[in-house]
A and B are shown apart, each in its own frame.
Chain A
Amino acid sequence: MSYFIQQVLNALGWGSVIALLAAGYTMTFGIIGLVNFAYGEVFMVGAFAAYFALTVFNLPFWAGILAGIIGALVIGLAIERIAFKPVRGSGMITLFITSLGASIIVKNLTIMLFDDSLKNFKVPKFFSGVYLLGDIIIFKKSIIIFLVTIILGIMLVYLVKNTKLGIAMRGISYDSKISETLGVNTERTIIITFVIASLLGGIAGTLWGMLFGSVKGSMGAIPVVDAFIASVIGGVGNVFGAMVSGYILAIGTGIFIAYLPQELVGLKPLFVWVVFFIILIFKPSGLFRANIK
């Protein structure tokens, strides 16, 4: 039993990263029907900016987080301006292909410039340390990351549910033309959504660096897929559902790996896809209520 609880606790840190990404994903997905495959690269650039601030320039901790957020914001808005805005409205598939192209461009550019090796991320002192609870080990960093994620999640849910901005977002995701006639500034709302999503990506990237102590150029590939699946399972446009599904997926993957024979551990990526197919075939609307039609 304690082995099981240990696996769940181990998955919390990873789950938080996935939950943050899934929340960002589901917002852009809901609002303009964009499956932002380049979101993994926003996440990666955020982590790299934090890495440069913390390890290379030796800045304090808060400057690292700030650098991560700014890096993610710049790349997220640049991708939106260059790759998504000109083809907006020409269908999901076109948007998906351009996002795939943008993702491959940014990823290969990063690998070309800084090669694809693991880079040591300087983790602040107060992140290290463990608590012992019987024979269960709890890492301090996963608790901090979990708390940060929960606070951000509550703020996001409040923003989408109760503020004027959130109502505008939901209106656009329902029908952008009608909400525009009713006085919603569509363009501004879309930009703000992208800003929020990139911000979440930057924070998630920084937290990833803190969690695993290293970053690399191709790190965005797996989290982005997991986050996408979490956002589909959670019901498109539903921030709460996406975050909960992110945790469910991460904990499920952790348990799946823990009970698999040693030589089959590499089959880890299969789990999320099996869940994805099962959910899409039996309950296409997702586990939670979708915010859009």
Chain B
Amino acid sequence: MKLEKKIVEKYILTIGLFFLTFYLLEKLLTGFWLTLFLLFGINVILAISLNIINGWIGFFSIGHGGIMLVGAYVAAFLTIPTSFKQGVINLHLPAFILNTQLPFLPALLIGSIFGVITGIILVLPAIRLKGFYFCAGTLGFNIIMATLAENLPKITNGPMGLRHLPSYTNIWWVWGMAVFLAYITLMVKKSYIGRAFISIGKDPCLAEHMGINLLKYKIYAFGLSAFFTSIGAILWIHLILNLFPTAFDLTFVFSVVTMIVIGGMGSISGSIIGAAIVTLFAEILAPIEEGFNFFGFQVPQALGLTTILLGVLLIVVLIKKPEGIMGEREISLNFLKGKKIS
């Protein structure tokens, strides 16, 4: 087989460019800006993986919080120091979990595999329920998972949560994963599988008539989405260093939904733009929530202001521009040059 030299060069150049960028950013960014950048990366992962379900397959899931909880708990059991696990009296885990502490990569993989299993459970309602009913079913899934996590203290330490997680998340993990995910999804979108996903979203009946096995591709889509969602969640808990049953509640999922609605459902670049907007929005407004002194006028503390404004933003976008910023298009060189692509 003849390797096309030009394409190989292009790949090496792109990867080198990314490495250089992240290396520089790691040296330059500190404190608040580093956290902001990491949050942005995690949000990109979460938004793109949610977009696979909500944008492509056409099932509107708000139950990804349940998948995140499962993946995050499994990974947290594996990475938390043994001293904490053995110190909690209520925790009745098998001995091999209590006595081991794995490095990050195995924990990440095992957590995501459990996340994938949970995600495939979500396919079960997707077989029978359509449209809005699926949406409500996934909401129920979310609530069920949070309730279980809260009320089985022997396994999850209940509402006390898990603490003392080691700080593993850094630019390399987050942005390596984000770039990898964006690359994979862009490739998938061009491939047979991606076209099958999108055709299921457009018209499931027609897709079935064209010879697409609906169940198989639904399982693929939910598996792919659940894998990266759990990775996002695991990176998230190793950034904020604790895990409570309410960590991935409806408000959290709602912010991810806001990202993909703003960016455009079904567009990878749209998800990235949406994640950037929402992250910036939330982090810039966070100091205002705390209350501040404005020229001698004391602005009171306003907790929850960010969520309120996100809700306003979501409604305004849905009314004024329902397809979001990007619609279903992607940013490419042709797009930047102003050529119209389908």
Q: Assuming the A-B contacts A98-B318, A280-B129, are A111 and B304 also in contact, with contact meaning beta carbons closer than 8 angstroms in the complex? A: yes
**Which chain B residues numbered 102 to 151 have a C-beta less than 8 Å away from chain A?**
125, 128-129, 131-133, 135-137, 139-140, 143-144, 147-148, 150-151
Q: Assuming the A-B contacts A104-B307, A112-B305, A277-B140, are A93 and B60 also in contact, with contact meaning beta carbons closer than 8 angstroms in the complex? A: yes
Secondary structure call for the A interface: helix
* A101 and B315 form a contact (CB under 8 A): yes
Q: Is B314 an interface residue (CB 8 A)?
A: yes
Q: Assuming the A-B contacts A93-B135, A98-B315, A100-B254, are A112 and B308 also in contact, with contact meaning beta carbons closer than 8 angstroms in the complex? A: yes
Q: Is B336 an interface residue (CB 8 A)?
A: no
Residues of B within 8 A of A83 (CB): 315
Cα of A96 to Cα of B261 in the assembled complex, Å: 13
* B147 and A269 form a contact (CB under 8 A): yes
Please give me the residue from chain A that is nearest to B133 by CB atom.
A280
Residues of B within 8 A of A35 (CB): 132, 136
Residues of A within 8 A of B310 (CB): 104
Cα of A206 to Cα of B88 in the assembled complex, Å: 43
Residues of B within 8 A of A277 (CB): 125, 137, 140
Contact with B along A231-270 (1 / 0, CB 8 A): 0100000000000000000000000000000001011011
Residues of A within 8 A of B233 (CB): none
Please give me the residue from chain A that is nearest to B147 by CB atom.
A269
* B257 and A280 form a contact (CB under 8 A): no
Residues of A within 8 A of B131 (CB): 92-93
The smallest C-beta distance from A151 to any residue of chain B, in angstroms, reads: 30
* B318 and A97 form a contact (CB under 8 A): yes
Q: Is B311 an interface residue (CB 8 A)?
A: yes
Residues of A within 8 A of B261 (CB): 97
Residues of B within 8 A of A281 (CB): 128
Q: Is A43 an interface residue (CB 8 A)?
A: no
Q: Is A124 an interface residue (CB 8 A)?
A: no
Cα of A273 to Cα of B148 in the assembled complex, Å: 13
* A104 and B254 form a contact (CB under 8 A): yes
Q: Assuming the A-B contacts A96-B135, A105-B308, A270-B147, are A86 and B319 also in contact, with contact meaning beta carbons closer than 8 angstroms in the complex? A: yes
Q: Is B251 an interface residue (CB 8 A)?
A: yes
* A264 and B137 form a contact (CB under 8 A): no
Cα of A232 to Cα of B133 in the assembled complex, Å: 9
* A94 and B318 form a contact (CB under 8 A): yes
Contact with B along A24-36 (1 / 0, CB 8 A): 0000000000010
Secondary structure call for the B interface: helix
Please give me the residue from chain A that is nearest to B253 by CB atom.
A100
* B308 and A104 form a contact (CB under 8 A): yes
Q: Is A276 an interface residue (CB 8 A)?
A: yes
Indicate the member of A83, A112, A225, A232 with the most B CB atoms within 10 Å: A112
Q: Is A78 an interface residue (CB 8 A)?
A: no
* B254 and A82 form a contact (CB under 8 A): no
Q: Is A176 an interface residue (CB 8 A)?
A: no
* B129 and A87 form a contact (CB under 8 A): no
Q: Is B81 an interface residue (CB 8 A)?
A: no
The smallest C-beta distance from A87 to any residue of chain B, in angstroms, reads: 6
Please give me the residue from chain B that is nearest to A267 by CB atom.
B151
**Which chain A residues numbered 77 to 107 have a C-beta less than 8 Å away from chain B?**
82-83, 86-87, 90, 92-94, 96-98, 100-102, 104-105
The smallest C-beta distance from B274 to any residue of chain A, in angstroms, reads: 14
Q: Is B312 an interface residue (CB 8 A)?
A: yes
Cα of A199 to Cα of B148 in the assembled complex, Å: 35
Q: Is A48 an interface residue (CB 8 A)?
A: no
Q: Assuming the A-B contacts A87-B322, A97-B261, A280-B129, are A105 and B312 also in contact, with contact meaning beta carbons closer than 8 angstroms in the complex? A: yes
**Which chain B residues numbered 250 to 265 have a C-beta less than 8 Å away from chain A?**
251, 254, 257, 261
**Which chain B residues numbered 135 to 184 have a C-beta less than 8 Å away from chain A?**
135-137, 139-140, 143-144, 147-148, 150-151
Please give me the residue from chain A that is nearest to B131 by CB atom.
A92
Q: Is A109 an interface residue (CB 8 A)?
A: yes
* A94 and B137 form a contact (CB under 8 A): no
Contact with A along B48-74 (1 / 0, CB 8 A): 000000000000101000000000000
Please give me the residue from chain A that is nearest to B320 by CB atom.
A86
Residues of A within 8 A of B20 (CB): none
Please give me the residue from chain A that is nearest to B159 by CB atom.
A266
Choose from A98, A112, A280 the contact partner of B304 (Cβ within 8 Å): A112
Residues of A within 8 A of B137 (CB): 276-277, 280
Residues of A within 8 A of B151 (CB): 264, 266-267
Q: Assuming the A-B contacts A93-B60, A111-B303, are A266 and B308 also in contact, with contact meaning beta carbons closer than 8 angstroms in the complex? A: no
CB-defined A-B contacts under 8 Å, sample of 27 = A82-B315, A87-B319, A87-B322, A90-B322, A93-B135, A94-B318, A94-B322, A96-B60, A96-B135, A98-B319, A100-B62, A104-B254, A105-B311, A108-B305, A108-B311, A111-B304, A112-B303, A112-B305, A264-B151, A266-B150, A267-B151, A269-B147, A273-B143, A276-B140, A277-B125, A277-B140, A280-B128
7 A-B pairs closest in CB distance? A266-B151, A108-B304, A105-B311, A273-B140, A101-B311, A92-B132, A86-B319
Query: Beyond the given A104-B311, A109-B308, A273-B144, could you list 10 further A-B residue pairs with CB under 8 A, ordered by the A residue number?
Result: A90-B322, A96-B135, A104-B254, A232-B133, A266-B150, A267-B147, A270-B148, A277-B125, A280-B133, A281-B128
